[in-house]
Amino acid sequence: MNFFNILTFLFVFFIASFFYKAEAQDFAPKVYPDRVILTWTENPAVSQTVTWRTDTTILGSKAQIKEEDSSPSMEQAITSYDADSRILSGGNNYITANYHHVTFNKLKPNTVYAYRVGSGEYWSEWFQFTTASQTDKPFSFIYLGDAQNDIRSKWSRVIRKAFSHQPDARFIIHTGDLINRSDNDTEWGEWHYGGGFINGMIPSIPSPGNHEYIRNKQRVLTLDPHWGVQYTLPANGPKGLEKSVYYVDYQNVRVISLDSQMIILDEESAKIQYQWLEKVLRENTNLWTVVTFHHPIFSTAKSRDNKEFRERFKPLFDQYHVDLVLQGHDHTYSRGQNLPRGLSGREASGPVYLVSVSGPKMYKVDGAKWMNVSLENTQLFQLIHIDHQDLKFEAYKTSGELFDAFSLKKISKDQAAVFTDLNPAKK
């Protein structure tokens, strides 16, 4: 290459570099299903709900299911369901799309099923899920704190590491701030991209955070419209809050999701959720009770305190012997036990309060005395294992290193579980 050619090449390269602008990943809906995600609307032992997205040219969508028999003849002996469809339109940060959902019912307990979703020539791959048992069999689930920022690039590896540690997890609890900017389809695209096929195999139990809310032109708190179309959830919550407040009974555990953003910022909503929660706890017949929401009862980050929330709701957790309170928001890891005076260790029984973060945004840990264990600047995932009267909790760093652990033993739903600290640093 002569000198003139070299100069020409460098000039062209400089011009191309100047005008080139990296494009964001394309998360636009297409004819093929995407954002396939499992949730529940009915009994997990005999039903399973699936939701997915397509572009608006797909009107009549279906889901097909069969009991897994390991045969490659997947299209034989299937049952087809017509989907209910909802349109998401009118936003500034996304393209209009159709969201479809089906609830498979009359399933067999403790059974592996294969399913796919689609229409005409456009189908997803075949996914698998396992129904809950109707007897008290051991199982595990995953708990993830805020994803929120750099979801595709830095959060994806966390949910995938959690899955690799517990591939037979029966559900995943997300404690809010799944994305950073409400009503932003690209960020929701990153969240679904990160979970990928995991979302289509392991049901999600999500609670909204403050970043899932916006104030409309009338300054009214409004839940991101993506929430109600992409998560098909139980309709057992209080009127007006069915999309974000609900409970799921899985074998011998009742998992209750609250909407803490509305509790903190809307007095009427706080009253409604309190009354609903008291009834749901009072009527609970399960041995174990897990309550999940976004804003911590006891904050871990500096300059944060949800005093009114704590004073109103904590007595219910104590009265009805809630076992775990799983929270996010403060972008740290912290663990403390039942706190009658705001100080941990004063009472050796009662709810264990946990805060965790799975995304890369981090805060400093406050020096509050309520924490038995704390950690900052670390992305984590948590595994909870339940075997009859025994519960084991494990918190892992994204590297796979076990950071914190404890166990609970519970004889009756009407009394507090017995706590044992298994933190590896204390052995």
Instruction: Report the C-alpha gap between 116 and 278 in whole angstroms.
Output: 39
Q: Specify whether 295 is located in the same domain as 394.
A: yes
Domain assignment present for 228: yes
Residue 217's domain comprises 139-426
Q: Supply the pTM of this predicted model.
A: 0.92
Find the CATH number of the domain harbouring 106.
2.60.40.380
Instruction: Please report, in tens digits, the pLDDT of each residue of the chain (427 residues total).
Output: 565 555 555 554 455 444 444 466 889 999 999 999 999 999 999 999 999 999 999 989 999 999 999 999 998 999 999 999 999 986 655 679 999 999 999 999 999 999 999 999 999 999 999 999 999 999 999 999 999 999 999 999 999 999 999 999 999 999 999 999 998 999 999 999 999 999 999 999 999 999 999 887 778 889 999 999 999 999 999 999 999 999 999 999 999 999 999 999 999 999 999 999 999 999 999 999 999 999 999 888 777 888 899 999 999 999 999 999 999 999 999 999 855 444 444 455 679 999 999 999 999 998 766 789 999 999 999 999 999 999 999 999 999 999 999 999 999 999 999 999 999 988 6
Q: Specify whether 397 is located in the same domain as 249.
A: yes
Q: Give the strand pairing for 352-355 and 324-327.
A: parallel
Model confidence over 265-283: pLDDT tens digits? 999 999 999 999 999 999 9
Q: Specify whether 123 is located in the same domain as 173.
A: no
Domain assignment present for 363: yes
What's the total number of domains in the chain? 2
Question: Residue 47's CB: how many other CB atoms inside 10 A?
Answer: 16
Instruction: Report the C-alpha gap between 206 and 259 in whole angstroms.
Output: 10
Q: Which of 72, 98, 130 is the last residue of a domain?
A: 130
HSE, side-chain direction, 13 A CA sphere, residue 342: 10
Domain assignment present for 384: yes
Q: Specify whether 120 is located in the same domain as 216.
A: no
Q: Specify whether 197 is located in the same domain as 101.
A: no
HSE, side-chain direction, 13 A CA sphere, residue 23: 3
Instruction: Report the C-alpha gap between 355 and 297 in whole angstroms.
Output: 10
The answer to whether residues 404 and 394 touch, using CB atoms and an 8 Å cutoff, is: yes
How far is residue 126 from each of residues 30, 102, 112, 123, 293, measured CA to CA in Å? 18, 15, 13, 9, 32
**Sequence-ordered list of residues with C-beta below 8 angstroms from that of 192, at least 6 positions apart, any chain:** 34, 35, 37, 199, 230
Q: Specify whether 115 is located in the same domain as 153.
A: no
Helix-strand-coil percent breakdown of the chain, rounded to 5?
A: 20, 30, 50
Q: Specify whether 209 is located in the same domain as 331.
A: yes
Q: Backbone phi, then psi, for 386, in 5-degree steps?
A: -125, 125
Q: Nearest CA to 145 among 410, 406, 419, 375?
A: 375
Model confidence over 30-71: pLDDT tens digits? 999 999 999 999 999 999 999 999 999 998 999 999 999 999
**Sequence-ordered list of residues with C-beta below 8 angstroms from that of 125, at least 6 positions apart, any chain:** 116, 197
The answer to whether residues 72 and 92 touch, using CB atoms and an 8 Å cutoff, is: no
DSSP letter, residue 237: S
Instruction: Report the C-alpha gap between 254 and 322 in whole angstroms.
Output: 10
Instruction: Report the C-alpha gap between 354 and 45 in whole angstroms.
Output: 28
Q: Specify whether 143 is located in the same domain as 106.
A: no
Instruction: Report the C-alpha gap between 223 and 171 in whole angstroms.
Output: 23
Q: Which of 81, 96, 130 is the last residue of a domain?
A: 130
Instruction: Report the C-alpha gap between 259 and 243 in whole angstroms.
Output: 10
Q: Specify whether 251 is located in the same domain as 121.
A: no
Instruction: Report the C-alpha gap between 400 and 225 in whole angstroms.
Output: 35
The answer to whether residues 85 and 99 touch, using CB atoms and an 8 Å cutoff, is: yes
384, amino acid identity: I
Q: Nearest CA to 248 among 259, 240, 236?
A: 236
Domain assignment present for 15: no
Q: Which of 106, 130, 154 is the last residue of a domain?
A: 130
Q: Specify whether 85 is located in the same domain as 167.
A: no
Tokens read off for 254: 């009742």
Instruction: Report the C-alpha gap between 83 and 101 in whole angstroms.
Output: 5
Instruction: Report the C-alpha gap between 177 and 294 in whole angstroms.
Output: 8
pLDDT at 219: 80
Instruction: Report the C-alpha gap between 261 and 132 in whole angstroms.
Output: 31
pLDDT at 207: 98
Tokens read off for 422: 């298994």
